Protein backbone atom coordinates (compact mmCIF):
# COMPACT_ATOMS: atom_id res chain seq x y z
CA UNK A 1 0.00 0.00 0.00
CA UNK A 2 1.60 3.31 -1.04
CA UNK A 3 1.70 6.28 1.30
CA UNK A 4 -1.20 8.72 1.27
CA UNK A 5 -0.71 12.41 0.58
CA UNK A 6 -0.97 14.64 3.62
CA UNK A 7 -2.75 17.89 2.77
CA UNK A 8 -3.51 21.10 4.63
CA UNK A 9 -6.84 22.93 4.78
CA UNK A 10 -6.03 24.62 1.46
CA UNK A 11 -5.77 21.18 -0.18
CA UNK A 12 -2.02 21.57 -0.75
CA UNK A 13 0.26 18.59 -0.31
CA UNK A 14 2.63 19.06 2.61
CA UNK A 15 3.90 15.51 3.03
CA UNK A 16 2.91 11.85 3.10
CA UNK A 17 1.46 9.48 5.68
CA UNK A 18 2.49 5.80 5.69
CA UNK A 19 -0.35 3.28 5.95
CA UNK A 20 -0.02 -0.08 7.66
CA UNK A 21 -0.60 -2.90 5.13
CA UNK A 22 -2.04 -5.01 7.97
CA UNK A 23 -4.98 -2.57 8.17
CA UNK A 24 -5.25 -0.76 4.83
CA UNK A 25 -4.11 -3.47 2.41
CA UNK A 26 -5.78 -6.74 3.36
CA UNK A 27 -7.90 -9.28 1.53
CA UNK A 28 -11.45 -7.90 1.31
CA UNK A 29 -13.85 -10.32 2.97
CA UNK A 30 -17.26 -9.35 1.65
CA UNK A 31 -19.17 -11.98 3.63
CA UNK A 32 -17.85 -10.59 6.92
CA UNK A 33 -18.72 -7.05 5.84
CA UNK A 34 -22.26 -8.18 5.10
CA UNK A 35 -22.55 -9.93 8.47
CA UNK A 36 -21.26 -6.86 10.32
CA UNK A 37 -23.80 -4.60 8.59
CA UNK A 38 -26.59 -7.08 9.39
CA UNK A 39 -25.41 -7.08 13.02
CA UNK A 40 -25.60 -3.28 13.22
CA UNK A 41 -29.01 -3.10 11.57
CA UNK A 42 -30.37 -5.86 13.82
CA UNK A 43 -29.15 -4.00 16.90
CA UNK A 44 -31.13 -0.93 15.79
CA UNK A 45 -34.42 -2.82 15.53
CA UNK A 46 -36.67 -2.03 18.47
CA UNK A 47 -38.41 -5.42 18.67
CA UNK A 48 -41.16 -3.81 20.75
CA UNK A 49 -44.22 -5.10 18.84
CA UNK A 50 -46.55 -6.77 21.32
CA UNK A 51 -49.96 -8.45 21.27
CA UNK A 52 -52.00 -10.03 24.05
CA UNK A 53 -50.43 -13.44 24.02
CA UNK A 54 -52.54 -15.60 26.32
CA UNK A 55 -55.85 -15.63 28.20
CA UNK A 56 -54.11 -14.55 31.38
CA UNK A 57 -53.28 -11.20 29.77
CA UNK A 58 -56.85 -10.54 28.58
CA UNK A 59 -59.17 -8.68 30.93
CA UNK A 60 -62.42 -10.52 31.71
CA UNK A 61 -63.63 -13.82 30.34
CA UNK A 62 -63.81 -15.55 33.71
CA UNK A 63 -67.46 -16.59 33.45
CA UNK A 64 -68.51 -19.45 31.17
CA UNK A 65 -70.63 -17.80 28.40
CA UNK A 66 -73.37 -20.43 28.55
CA UNK A 67 -73.97 -23.87 29.99
CA UNK A 68 -72.10 -26.80 28.50
CA UNK A 69 -75.12 -28.72 27.17
CA UNK A 70 -78.64 -28.18 26.00
CA UNK A 71 -78.35 -24.87 24.14
CA UNK A 72 -77.64 -26.26 20.68
CA UNK A 73 -74.54 -24.10 20.40
CA UNK A 74 -70.94 -25.16 20.44
CA UNK A 75 -69.46 -25.47 23.91
CA UNK A 76 -67.45 -22.45 25.08
CA UNK A 77 -65.39 -22.00 28.21
CA UNK A 78 -64.38 -18.35 27.86
CA UNK A 79 -65.37 -15.30 25.88
CA UNK A 80 -61.65 -14.50 25.51
CA UNK A 81 -60.96 -17.43 23.18
CA UNK A 82 -58.83 -16.51 20.12
CA UNK A 83 -61.91 -17.38 18.02
CA UNK A 84 -63.91 -14.59 19.64
CA UNK A 85 -63.72 -10.85 19.12
CA UNK A 86 -61.79 -9.30 22.00
CA UNK A 87 -59.98 -12.53 22.74
CA UNK A 88 -56.31 -13.46 22.85
CA UNK A 89 -54.00 -13.58 19.82
CA UNK A 90 -52.46 -16.85 18.70
CA UNK A 91 -48.68 -16.69 18.16
CA UNK A 92 -48.70 -12.88 18.07
CA UNK A 93 -45.45 -10.87 18.21
CA UNK A 94 -43.86 -10.35 21.62
CA UNK A 95 -41.04 -7.96 22.67
CA UNK A 96 -37.71 -9.44 21.65
CA UNK A 97 -34.14 -8.61 20.70
CA UNK A 98 -32.91 -9.20 17.15
CA UNK A 99 -29.23 -8.93 18.03
CA UNK A 100 -26.74 -11.69 17.35
CA UNK A 101 -23.05 -12.08 18.03
CA UNK A 102 -20.01 -11.75 15.81
CA UNK A 103 -16.52 -12.55 17.04
CA UNK A 104 -14.03 -9.73 17.70
CA UNK A 105 -11.73 -11.16 15.06
CA UNK A 106 -14.51 -11.13 12.44
CA UNK A 107 -15.41 -7.54 13.33
CA UNK A 108 -11.81 -6.43 12.93
CA UNK A 109 -11.46 -8.20 9.58
CA UNK A 110 -14.67 -6.59 8.33
CA UNK A 111 -13.47 -3.14 9.41
CA UNK A 112 -10.08 -3.70 7.77
CA UNK A 113 -11.85 -4.82 4.59
CA UNK A 114 -13.88 -1.63 4.18
CA UNK A 115 -10.88 0.57 5.09
CA UNK A 116 -8.83 -1.26 2.45
CA UNK A 117 -11.57 -0.71 -0.13
CA UNK A 118 -11.70 3.01 0.65
CA UNK A 119 -7.90 3.38 0.54
CA UNK A 120 -7.66 1.56 -2.82
CA UNK A 121 -10.44 3.61 -4.43
CA UNK A 122 -9.41 7.12 -3.35
CA UNK A 123 -12.07 7.23 -0.67
CA UNK A 124 -9.61 8.04 2.12
CA UNK A 125 -7.98 11.44 2.70
CA UNK A 126 -5.54 12.59 5.37
CA UNK A 127 -5.69 16.23 6.45
CA UNK A 128 -3.13 17.96 8.65
CA UNK A 129 -5.80 19.22 11.06
CA UNK A 130 -9.59 19.36 11.33
CA UNK A 131 -9.77 21.91 14.14
CA UNK A 132 -12.36 24.65 13.71
CA UNK A 133 -12.16 27.98 15.53
CA UNK A 134 -15.90 28.06 16.19
CA UNK A 135 -18.79 25.55 16.16
CA UNK A 136 -20.59 27.07 13.18
CA UNK A 137 -22.26 25.21 10.32
CA UNK A 138 -20.87 27.86 7.97
CA UNK A 139 -17.32 26.92 9.07
CA UNK A 140 -18.01 23.23 8.32
CA UNK A 141 -19.44 24.08 4.89
CA UNK A 142 -16.34 26.16 4.07
CA UNK A 143 -14.07 23.32 5.22
CA UNK A 144 -15.87 20.81 2.99
CA UNK A 145 -15.77 23.24 0.06
CA UNK A 146 -12.03 23.96 0.50
CA UNK A 147 -11.17 20.26 0.56
CA UNK A 148 -13.50 19.46 -2.34
CA UNK A 149 -15.40 16.84 -0.36
CA UNK A 150 -18.74 15.27 -1.31
CA UNK A 151 -21.83 15.79 0.88
CA UNK A 152 -21.53 12.29 2.33
CA UNK A 153 -18.27 12.75 4.22
CA UNK A 154 -17.17 11.12 7.46
CA UNK A 155 -14.59 12.92 9.60
CA UNK A 156 -12.64 10.53 11.84
CA UNK A 157 -10.88 12.23 14.74
CA UNK A 158 -8.42 10.89 17.29
CA UNK A 159 -10.20 12.65 20.16
CA UNK A 160 -13.71 14.08 20.50
CA UNK A 161 -13.87 17.49 18.85
CA UNK A 162 -16.85 19.48 20.14
CA UNK A 163 -16.52 22.34 17.64
CA UNK A 164 -16.40 20.00 14.65
CA UNK A 165 -19.30 17.89 15.94
CA UNK A 166 -21.52 20.93 16.46
CA UNK A 167 -20.49 22.45 13.13
CA UNK A 168 -21.57 19.42 11.05
CA UNK A 169 -24.63 18.57 13.14
CA UNK A 170 -26.97 20.39 10.75
CA UNK A 171 -25.45 18.81 7.64
CA UNK A 172 -27.67 15.76 6.94
CA UNK A 173 -25.07 13.51 5.26
CA UNK A 174 -21.89 14.59 7.05
CA UNK A 175 -20.79 13.01 10.33
CA UNK A 176 -17.95 13.03 12.85
CA UNK A 177 -16.76 9.93 14.68
CA UNK A 178 -13.92 9.28 17.12
CA UNK A 179 -11.71 6.33 16.24
CA UNK A 180 -13.37 4.25 18.98
CA UNK A 181 -16.74 4.63 17.26
CA UNK A 182 -15.56 3.77 13.74
CA UNK A 183 -17.74 1.06 12.22
CA UNK A 184 -18.46 -0.70 8.93
CA UNK A 185 -21.92 0.76 8.30
CA UNK A 186 -20.78 4.40 8.55
CA UNK A 187 -17.73 3.79 6.35
CA UNK A 188 -19.88 2.18 3.66
CA UNK A 189 -22.51 4.94 3.83
CA UNK A 190 -20.07 7.82 3.36
CA UNK A 191 -18.28 8.38 0.07
CA UNK A 192 -15.12 9.85 1.59
CA UNK A 193 -13.40 9.23 4.92
CA UNK A 194 -11.28 12.15 6.16
CA UNK A 195 -8.68 11.46 8.85
CA UNK A 196 -5.80 13.21 10.55
CA UNK A 197 -2.36 11.60 10.97
CA UNK A 198 -3.24 11.05 14.65
CA UNK A 199 -6.50 9.25 13.84
CA UNK A 200 -4.74 7.06 11.24
CA UNK A 201 -2.27 6.02 13.94
CA UNK A 202 -5.06 5.27 16.43
CA UNK A 203 -6.97 3.22 13.83
CA UNK A 204 -3.87 1.09 13.25
CA UNK A 205 -3.38 0.68 17.00
CA UNK A 206 -7.01 -0.37 17.44
CA UNK A 207 -6.98 -2.96 14.65
CA UNK A 208 -3.48 -4.42 14.97
pLDDT in tens, 152-185: 999 999 988 899 999 999 999 999 999 999 999 9
Closest CA to 194 of 114, 120, 125, 116: 125
Contact criterion met (CB below 8 Å) for 103 and 70: no
Residues carrying CATH 3.40.1370.10, the chain: 4-45+100-207
Q: What is the pLDDT at residue 1?
A: 56
Closest CA to 4 of 115, 158, 148: 115
Q: What is the pLDDT at residue 195?
A: 95
Decide if pLDDT at 191 tops 60: yes
Contact criterion met (CB below 8 Å) for 5 and 13: yes
Q: What is the pLDDT at residue 19?
A: 92
Q: What is the pLDDT at residue 132?
A: 87
CA dist 176 and 165 (Å) reads 6
Q: What is the pLDDT at residue 2?
A: 66
Architecture of the domain spanning 4-45+100-207: 3-Layer(aba) Sandwich (3.40)
Q: What is the pTM of this model?
A: 0.80
Amino acid sequence: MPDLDLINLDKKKIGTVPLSPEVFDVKVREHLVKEYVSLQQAARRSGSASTIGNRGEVRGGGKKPWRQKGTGRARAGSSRSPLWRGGMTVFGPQPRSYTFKLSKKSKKLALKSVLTERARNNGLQVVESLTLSEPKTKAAVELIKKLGLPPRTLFVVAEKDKNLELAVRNLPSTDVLPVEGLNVFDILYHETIVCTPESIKKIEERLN
